[in-house]
């Protein structure tokens, strides 16, 4: 049993685990196998025989190993953990897992990119899924969110259109995992409600440094309902303890080539290392009486609630502390659904949410092959479940007894329903009236105010990145008409933005536009996030002939700060100091590159080749152009000085390790030096 961080869910999963190591091979029927390399043939060079049941079973199973990938969010990474509450939320909700701060709730989280296929590069410019399954004593509660707090469309009716436009184009299946193509931007220009989310998607948020450094949002407005039946509107937030950080676009594209598994490797490594990713759960709460107090409709998923207007109350923390045993069994087969709720959490009339409540079960039917996917180990609730649903493909439960209907007398009318007092789920009795209409509410018609709010809230470098992102994406669009339409559309967000992009595209600037919105929301800028050096990866460029004592001291001091230094040299194996001591290289210049690290520590050595110098120059120049912190001691310091970089911000050099380390740690925590100029 994997008893590290044991909990109810882990105990349940344990019943399904099996370890084949050290066991005798059998068929699926339990028959011991005597030969597994050769099929049964009529003579050594003869044809294979039909009666070879072992071959047939092995091949048949293999032939059916794949299931359809998720229609969106196909590329994902899952991990187990637990959620602990800081303070009881009983004033607002009767949800059992939000009552008692001493109680921990097991969770499973799956992070994902949206557009790409299952094997696509993880550094795509894209929203990220952030789906959490809470295994509560009252049943599973799924918070199926994204790392962007708003969405492209307002009504679920348009979701198939959005996804068709975003996915690779159907005539040639190009491009993979990218929105930089004609159909996506044609959709945007002709469905202008997308303006706000597109601003986020073109921002640094769409290229996170790590799943560990990414916010999560429930997006829709939900309801909290307390024991007295009083409801409040609520929005959910996950705030990463390490802060929200991103890479730069050039880096993202290179990472996709060098290590398309970069995000999952980062998560896997952090959890195995004991650097458990942590996210605080926050809620924004609006009294029902205040529903119409805002200059946007709180049912509109293209709008956020500015944190400065509706503060985020931090109510608990989730820690991810266990990697899955088997990616297919757990991460691939997990089935999330925003309709998996518990008493005390209810829906709003957001038309996007309402449509999702249909789609998620429906999609599992084709993906997981039938209606019994709730029986898969990862999906089972930790509380018992009883009802009159029966049979279906791959049913595992053996329901005993004669009765499978309600009402009945033969089983004393059980399984019995529960009253509200007995924690039966009772839908919030919102009064609803109106005519049946297919229409967009008048209150949903402003598409640009919050897009401009987002733009206004960005720091200068963040604005530059957005301009570059639009210029990149539209630069990949063939249709000049689409380029024109998009530039004209975003002129309503910012003339500065639209003009810069038009210039980059070589088309005329927009004639009309501009915005008189001046409001900002500082919480939207990643400049104002938590900044920590802990868990950052540093490449230590080391060659033979370094000062052994000094380097070991520096590495130990970095490790003491929770930083992960990894040695990069010309060859794997020993790197020998001038005293004859040895450090082991983790990577070579061939197997790694600066884009895979947060910072570079250049040491070099007295006995290095010209090639080492050349490789170091490439490594450092690239990191420097990506605004990364760079440190140098010994030969590295000299090299940084002679190349003119030592004078730049975020470049820390010293001959004294005691002085060097604190300065370098501070630089690593700063993440990037956006205003760096090549001196």
Question: Closest separation between CB of residue 331 and ligand HDE, Å?
Answer: 8
Question: Closest separation between CB of residue 196 and ligand HDE, Å?
Answer: 13
Residue 41 DSSP label? B
What percentage of the chain's residues is helix, strand, coil (to nearest 5)? 35, 20, 50
Q: What is the 3-state secondary structure (H, E, C) of 153-202?
A: CCCHHHHHHHHHHHCCECCCCECCCCCCCHHHHHHHHHCHHHHHHHHHHC
Q: Please count the other Cβ atoms lying within 10 Å of the Cβ belonging to residue 27.
A: 12
In the bound state with ligand HDE, the residue whose beta carbon lies nearer, of 68 and 549, is 68
Q: Which DSSP string do the residues of 320-351 spell out, in sequence order? A: EEEE-S-TIIIIIT----TT---TTEEE---H
In the bound state with ligand HDE, the residue whose beta carbon lies nearer, of 105 and 302, is 302
Helices H, strands E: what count in the chain?
16, 18
Question: Closest separation between CB of residue 160 and ligand HDE, Å?
Answer: 8
Q: For helices 460-475 and 495-505, what crossing angle results, to 10°?
A: 40
Note the residues at the interface with ligand HDE (CB under 6 A). 70-73, 76, 110, 112, 129, 131, 144-146, 151, 156, 159, 219, 301, 334, 336, 352, 355-356, 359-360, 363
Residue 159 is labelled as binding a ligand: yes
Question: Closest separation between CB of residue 187 and ligand HDE, Å?
Answer: 14
Distance CA(204)–CA(125), nearest Å, equals 9
Q: What is the 3-state secondary structure (H, E, C) of 264-306?
A: HHHHHHHHHHCCCCEEEEEEEEEEHHHCCCCCCCCCCCCCCCC
Residue 367 is labelled as binding a ligand: yes
Distances (CA, A) of 429 to 15, 228, 231, 347: 41, 13, 10, 11
In the bound state with ligand HDE, the residue whose beta carbon lies nearer, of 159 and 639, is 159
Which residue in 587, 303, 251 sits closest to 450, CA to CA?
303
In the bound state with ligand HDE, the residue whose beta carbon lies nearer, of 129 and 565, is 129
Question: Closest separation between CB of residue 399 and ligand HDE, Å?
Answer: 26
The answer to whether residue 408 is catalytic is no
Question: Closest separation between CB of residue 131 and ligand HDE, Å?
Answer: 4
Locate 122 and state its tokens: 């993880």
Distance CA(570)–CA(591), nearest Å, equals 10
Do 502 and 580 meet the contact criterion of CB atoms below 8 Å apart? no
Residue 597 is labelled as binding a ligand: no
Q: Which residue is nearest to ligand HDE (CB)?
A: 129
Distance CA(223)–CA(221), nearest Å, equals 7
Helix or strand (DSSP H, E) at 240: strand 231-240
Question: Closest separation between CB of residue 40 and ligand HDE, Å?
Answer: 42
Chain centroid offset of residue 421 CA:
38
Residue 601 is labelled as binding a ligand: no
In the bound state with ligand HDE, the residue whose beta carbon lies nearer, of 75 and 547, is 75
Is the sign of the CA dihedral 370, 376, 381, 384 positive or negative? positive
Task: Catalytic residue, from 146, 147, 323, 544: name it.
Answer: 146
In the bound state with ligand HDE, the residue whose beta carbon lies nearer, of 210 and 616, is 210
Question: Closest separation between CB of residue 244 and ligand HDE, Å?
Answer: 17
Do 518 and 456 meet the contact criterion of CB atoms below 8 Å apart? yes
Task: Catalytic residue, from 54, 73, 492, 671: name it.
Answer: 73
The answer to whether residue 146 is catalytic is yes
In the bound state with ligand HDE, the residue whose beta carbon lies nearer, of 145 and 316, is 145
In the bound state with ligand HDE, the residue whose beta carbon lies nearer, of 369 and 514, is 369
Q: Specify binding-site residues for heme.
A: 70, 110, 159, 356, 360, 367
Would you please indicate which residues are annotated as catalytic (active-site) residues?
73, 146
């Amino acid at each position: 049993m994997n008893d590290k961080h044991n909990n109810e869910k882990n105990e349940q999963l344990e019943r399904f685990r099996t370890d084949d190591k050290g066991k005798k091979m059998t068929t699926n029927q339990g028959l011991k196998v005597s030969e597994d390399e050769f099929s049964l043939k009529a003579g050594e060079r003869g044809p294979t025989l039909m009666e070879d049941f072992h071959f047939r079973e092995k091949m048949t199973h293999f032939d059916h190993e794949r299931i359809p990938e998720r229609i969106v969010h196909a590329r994902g990474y899952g991990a187990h953990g637990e959620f602990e509450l800081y303070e009881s939320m009983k004033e607002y909700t009767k949800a059992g897992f939000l009552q008692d701060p001493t109680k921990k709730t097991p969770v499973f989280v799956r992070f994902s990119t949206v557009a790409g296929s299952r094997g696509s590069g993880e550094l795509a410019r894209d929203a990220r899924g952030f789906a959490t399954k809470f295994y509560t004593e009252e049943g599973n509660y799924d918070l199926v969110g994204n790392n962007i707090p708003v969405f492209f469309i307002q009504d679920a009716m348009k979701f198939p259109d959005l996804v068709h436009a975003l996915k690779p184009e159907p005539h040639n299946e190009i491009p993979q995992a990218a929105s930089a193509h004609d159909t996506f931007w044609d959709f945007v220009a002709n469905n202008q409600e997308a303006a706000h989310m597109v601003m986020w998607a073109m921002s640094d948020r769409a290229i996170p440094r790590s799943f560990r450094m990414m916010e999560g949002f429930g997006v829709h407005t939900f309801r909290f309902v307390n024991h007295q039946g009083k409801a409040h509107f609520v929005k959910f937030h996950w705030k990463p303890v390490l802060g929200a950080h991103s890479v730069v676009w050039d880096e993202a594209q290179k990472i996709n080539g060098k290590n398309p598994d970069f995000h999952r490797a980062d998560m896997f490594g952090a959890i195995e290392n004991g650097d458990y990713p942590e996210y605080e759960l926050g809620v924004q709460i609006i009294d029902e009486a205040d529903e119409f107090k805002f200059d946007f409709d709180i049912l509109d998923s293209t709008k956020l609630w500015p944190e400065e207007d509706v503060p985020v109350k931090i109510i608990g923390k989730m820690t991810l502390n266990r990697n899955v045993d088997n990616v297919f069994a757990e991460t691939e087969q997990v089935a999330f659904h925003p309709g998996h709720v518990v008493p005390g959490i209810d829906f709003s009339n957001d038309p996007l949410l309402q449509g999702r409540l249909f789609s998620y079960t429906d999609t599992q039917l084709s993906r997981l092959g039938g209606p019994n996917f709730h029986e898969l180990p990862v999906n089972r609730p930790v509380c018992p479940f009883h009802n009159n649903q029966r049979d279906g493909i791959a049913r595992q439960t053996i329901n005993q007894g004669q009765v499978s209907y309600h009402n009945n007398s033969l089983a004393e009318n059980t399984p019995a329903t529960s009253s509200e007092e007995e924690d039966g789920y009772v839908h919030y009795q919102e009064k609803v009236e109106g005519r049946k209409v297919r229409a967009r509410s008048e209150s949903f018609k402003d598409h640009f105010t919050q897009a401009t709010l987002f733009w206004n809230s960005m720091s200068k470098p963040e604005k530059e990145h957005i301009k570059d992102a639009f210029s990149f994406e539209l630069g990949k669009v063939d249709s000049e008409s689409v380029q024109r339409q998009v530039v004209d559309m975003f002129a309503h967000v910012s003339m500065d933005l639209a003009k810069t992009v038009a210039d980059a595209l070589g088309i005329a600037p927009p004639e009309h536009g501009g915005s008189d919105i001046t409001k900002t929301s500082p919480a939207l800028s990643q400049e104002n996030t938590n900044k920590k050096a802990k868990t950052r990866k540093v490449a230590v460029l080391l060659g033979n002939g370094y000062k052994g004592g000094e380097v070991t001291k520096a590495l130990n001091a970095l490790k003491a700060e929770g930083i992960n230094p990894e040695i990069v040299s010309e060859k794997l194996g020993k790197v020998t100091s001038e005293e004859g001591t040895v450090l082991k290289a983790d990577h070579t210049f061939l197997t790694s590159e600066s884009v895979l690290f947060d910072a570079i520590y250049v040491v070099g050595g007295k006995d290095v080749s010209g090639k080492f110098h050349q490789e170091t120059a490439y490594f450092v120049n690239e990191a420097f152009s990506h605004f990364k912190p760079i440190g140098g001691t010994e030969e590295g310091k000299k090299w940084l000085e002679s190349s003119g970089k030592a004078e730049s911000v975020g470049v820390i050099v010293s001959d004294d390790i005691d002085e060097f380390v604190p300065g370098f740690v501070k630089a690593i925590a700063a993440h990037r030096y956006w205003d760096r100029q090549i001196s």
